[in-house]
Amino acid sequence: MDELFHRDEYLPQSLNSKIESFPITVLLVDDQVIIAEAIRRMLAEHSDIRFHYCNDPANALQIAADVKPTVILQDLVMPDMDGLTLVKYFRANPATKDVPLIVLSIKEDPKIKAEAFELGANDYAVKLPDKQELVARIRYHSMAYTRLLERNMAFNKLEISQKALKIELSEAADYVRTLLPAPLEGEIEASWCFIPSTSLGGDAFGYHMIDKENFAFYLFDVCGHGVGAALLSISILNVLRSQAFTKETFLNPAGVLKALNETFPMEKHNNMFFTMWYGVFNKKTRTLSYSSGGHPPALLVTGPDKSSAACIQLKTQGLVIGGMPDAQFENATCKIDKFNKIFVFSDGVYEILKADGAIFTLNEFIDYLSGISTKTDPPDDDLDHIIHFSESVGENATFEDDFSILKITFS
């Protein structure tokens, strides 16, 4: 019988395959050659249907693995193996567990039909069915299976893309981290925490001496997430790190925000803008000058000693950077006393979804920061304590936005 039945091998070509990559492929499992010839003749005029025959149920799983059927026709009465047992084998086999299965029987028996469906058959027909009816059933079940294959391929492609994106985001986060400054010790102490979100936001920060007396420090947050936000963040950071503006500009916080607003208009940067807090501390006068544009306030805890320290929110009026070409920014100043801590942070530190569905607010976070800075002694470092606290507040184990906080202390 080999010359009567052509066996083409079929394998999906790629994750980009279209419906044409899944030709209608019928596998008949029946010990009667005459039945196989009859069905072959029924399908012969349909050039888009490939027909394969297996007369030994013991070989059915292997042949199915070879020909990749989109529908299986299977007899219920065969020597050496009960047809219902073969149905169970097909459904237990990973390669055929989802392939549509049409059971062929010599009689219309409700009990056998119910058992076949219970074991996983998709359809039931009394052999031999009408030619037009058989072709219609084959096309119907093959189309449903093809849709399933295409859906699975789309999911696989999406999973591969997501893995690749995750790698890219991880690499971008690692690169951002390499640009962040080393912690400082001595007359100026600086420490920080940067935990990028799974989708990577646009947070970055830095600090440097402008001259022997003036120390600049800043934190900004680019809108959105992903590699695009990270790239803009890196560009801004490089401008600040390289001190591309004049010294007079860097000594003037509002001037820095104005210069960045002119350098990074959102219409030239994929409609992305950013918020920022920038401060300059003069060691000689112990005066802090600062300016902010759409950013959460920094929190200054200062006083002659811890017991009498006050908490001051440091914020000025100002729009987001890059939003409007003529945006105006203003400076403010304050004195830094003997005891002091300054926390500069992004909104990802406090905009956390709580278990009750509410968002943790800025005021709640500032109340917490004030408490650990003036009323209690954290069991560990301030920043570690803040991380643990924010993790305990959130419903999820990961942060939805970049978690960035900078702590500065002037001795």
Of residues 212 and 201, more confidence is placed in 212
Q: What is d(CA 137, CA 110) in angstroms, rounded to the nearest whole number?
A: 20
In the chain, pLDDT over 70 holds for what percent of residues?
A: 91
What is the average per-residue pLDDT within 319-324? 94
DSSP H or E stretch at residue 144: helix 131-179
What is the average per-residue pLDDT within 326-332? 94
List, in sequence order, the alpha helices (H) in 320-381: 362-374
2: pLDDT strictly greater than 60: no
Q: How confident is the model at residue 201 (pLDDT cuts 50, 70, 90)?
A: confident
Q: Left if phi > 0, otherwise alpha if psi is -120 to 50, otherwise beta: which for 25?
A: beta
320: pLDDT strictly greater than 90: yes
Tell me the per-residue pLDDT of 64-120, one tens digit each, with 9 for 90 and over: 999 999 999 999 888 878 888 999 999 999 999 999 999 998 888 888 889 889 998
Of residues 3 and 138, more confidence is placed in 138
Which residues have a Cβ under 8 Å from the Cβ of 182 and sit 6 or more positions away?
none
Tokens of 353: 């979804």
List, in sequence order, the alpha helices (H) in 264-301: none
CA dihedral 321, 325, 331, 336 (to 10 degrees): 20
409: pLDDT strictly greater than 90: yes
What is the average per-residue pLDDT within 210-221? 96
Q: Count other Cβ atoms within 10 Å, centred on residue 95.
A: 14
Q: Which residues of 366-380 are buried (b: 16+ CB within 10 A; e: fewer)?
A: bebbbebbbeeeeee
What confidence score (pLDDT) does residue 375 get?
66
Tell me the per-residue pLDDT of 361-378, one tens digit each, with 9 for 90 and over: 888 888 888 887 766 665
Strand locations in 9-48 (E): 24-29
What confidence score (pLDDT) does residue 4 get?
35
pTM for the predicted model, two decimal places: 0.65
Q: How confident is the model at residue 14 (pLDDT cuts 50, 70, 90)?
A: very low
What confidence score (pLDDT) does residue 11 get?
36
What is the average per-residue pLDDT within 262-281? 94
230: pLDDT strictly greater than 90: no
Residues paired with residue 301 on neighbouring β-strands, in sequence order: 311, 341
Measured CA distances, 256 to 204, 251, 277, 291, 329 (Å): 16, 8, 10, 9, 9
16: pLDDT strictly greater than 50: no
In the chain, pLDDT over 90 holds for what percent of residues?
A: 54
19-154 matches 180-410 in fold: no
Residues across the chain: 411
Ranges of each domain in the chain: 19-154, 180-410
What confidence score (pLDDT) does residue 6 get?
36
Which has the closest alpha carbon to 49: 17, 26, 29, 83? 26
Give the CATH fold of the 19-154 domain.
Answer: Rossmann fold (3.40.50)
> Are 352 and 394 within 8 A, CB to CB?
yes
Tell me the per-residue pLDDT of 116-159, one tens digit each, with 9 for 90 and over: 899 989 999 998 889 999 999 999 999 999 999 888 888 888 88
20: pLDDT strictly greater than 50: no
Q: Which CATH number does the domain 180-410 belong to among 3.90.1150.10, 3.40.190.10, 3.60.40.10, 3.40.50.300?
A: 3.60.40.10
Q: What is d(CA 276, CA 218) in angstroms, rounded to the nearest whole number?
A: 7
Which residues have a Cβ under 8 Å from the Cβ of 329 and sit 6 or more positions away?
253, 254, 257, 258, 261, 291, 293, 316, 318
Of residues 97 and 380, more confidence is placed in 97
